[in-house]
Amino acid sequence: MVPCSRRDLRRAFALALAAADFLLDIDDFLKRGQRPSPGAGGQRWAGSLRTPTADYALPGDLAAGLAPSGLGQRRMTFQHLPDKWKLATINCLSYKRTMSMHRRDLLRASALMGAALGFSGKAWSAARDAEWVLNDRLIGDISPVHDPCIIKQGDTYHLFCTGQAQDPTGLLPWRTSKDLITWTLHGRVFETIPKWAQDAVPGTRGTWAPDIAYFNGRYHLYYSCSTFGSNRSVIGLVTNKTLDRGSKDFKWEDRGLVVESQRGDDFNAIDANHLIDRDGNHWLSLGSFWSGIKLLPLDPATGQRTPNDTRKYSLASRPAPEKAPGAIEAPFMIERGGYYYLFTSFDYCCRGASSSYYIVVGRSRDVTGPYVGRDGKSQLDGYGTVVLQGNRRFRGPGHQAVLRDGDTDYLVYHAYDAEHDGRPTLRISRIEWTADGWPVVQA
């Protein structure tokens, strides 16, 4: 018997659990017959399965929740062998070790060690409730949800999404949750499409792709009206002092048109996202197909266009052969660590389990660009870093929003559930950030 302190066992378990985490990621990609490309940003490891080794960094939350402060560089190097991954080097605790273990035994060992050591509920929860597990726990009214946006008022999360006039859930369906897990449908924003929008876009049947922001003491909810495949589109705005239906101040007020596109324009005025930059300027990004994603300045006092301000910046596009669609849409922008991040959805939504949507990101020091992926290539040329792709069950993840809740960021999006007729379903994944400032998300 080799004597071993409880502290060393806890450290060993943290490493074993991280290794198991890595193997589960590997398994997920192998089951789908995929190989993540170097620097893609959508994986929890730095390196590539195209090479025989992979370098893996323990997640900071795992290290903090399960291991003492001496984890040092918190890195492990794995080497691929037939039917197993060899843990070639543990570069932690100022020592190096080499071992080889079948993945099945490693998974069993990590579970047994955790139970035997009697981890506190908080520590065990830190490992169990990692960001990908949140999706497995979502319950309640989580479908149909398409093009979600989200905001928190007090202790309640409010989520709005696309709605059609003929849908039972109505126009701009409204859901709430206290914990991001259990969701309850609480009606809709509109009973009918505003008349001005019906007049502007004949044939429109829904209110699409909402986005919500709070400023100047009011909640500002942007929405789009269009017809499928056309760029005769409008973006409108409705505001409210509160999202508390029991308040005397609760009342939605439609503010009318914000921006529109005509059939002769090179852009499509849907999929709005509001941003306040680090200097206090207000912006609206928008766009779907055509020439891509645009950015327009807004009046900070109203959240609408400033009269006679015709500035329009191009942020991202998907170059395509003549008369072919440039499949990019659904911008969402945030500021973090001196960069502006532009999330977009590539390829095609709205095809159920056959949808090919996936999420891409780029960043820029300047809000108006240029935005580039991790490889330095421009989003105006169709590049960017992949954040999230679908899996066997949940296909076509996209039309994302970012919820910034205290020190934690979440990616909120829909995906199509292949086990339930391809129904668009709410998904929420925690965002981890790499040391060099790129988002990492697990489906």
Q: What angle do CA 24, 28, 31 make, to 5 degrees?
A: 130
Closest alpha carbon to 254 in 186, 194, 172:
194
Amino acid at 120: S
Closest alpha carbon to 252 in 283, 281, 218, 228:
218
End-to-end CA distance of the chain: 42
Amino acid at 342: L
**Known catalytic membership, residue 131:** no
Amino acid at 322: E
3-state secondary structure of 196: helix
Closest alpha carbon to 139 in 355, 346, 430, 426:
426
In DSSP notation, 208-275 reads EEEEEEEETTEEEEEEEE--TT---EEEEEEEES-S-TTSTT---EEEEEEEEE-TTSSS---S-EEE
Structure tokens at 161: 């999404």
Alpha carbon distance 184, 176 (integer Å):
5
**Known catalytic membership, residue 249:** no
3-state secondary structure of 319: coil
Catalytic-role residue among 329, 409, 417, 432: 329
The dihedral built from the CA positions of residue 433, 438, 442 and 443, taken in this order, carries a sign that is positive
Helices (H), 32-130: 60-66, 103-117, 121-128
Alpha carbon distance 88, 100 (integer Å):
8
Alpha carbon distance 112, 363 (integer Å):
42
3-state secondary structure of 18: helix
Q: Is 138 buried (19+), middle (13-18) or exposed (0-12) by CB count in 10 A?
A: middle
Catalytic-role residue among 21, 131, 141, 147: 147
Q: Walk across the sheet containing 139-140 and list its strands.
A: 139-140, 182-190, 171-177, 156-160, 149-153
Cα–Cα separations (whole angstroms), residue 144 to 174, 187, 269, 423, 443: 12, 13, 24, 6, 18
Say if residues 270 and 222 touch (Cβ distance below 8 Å).
no
In DSSP notation, 58-84 reads PPHHHHHHHS-TT-TT-EEEEEEETTE
Active site residues: 147, 329
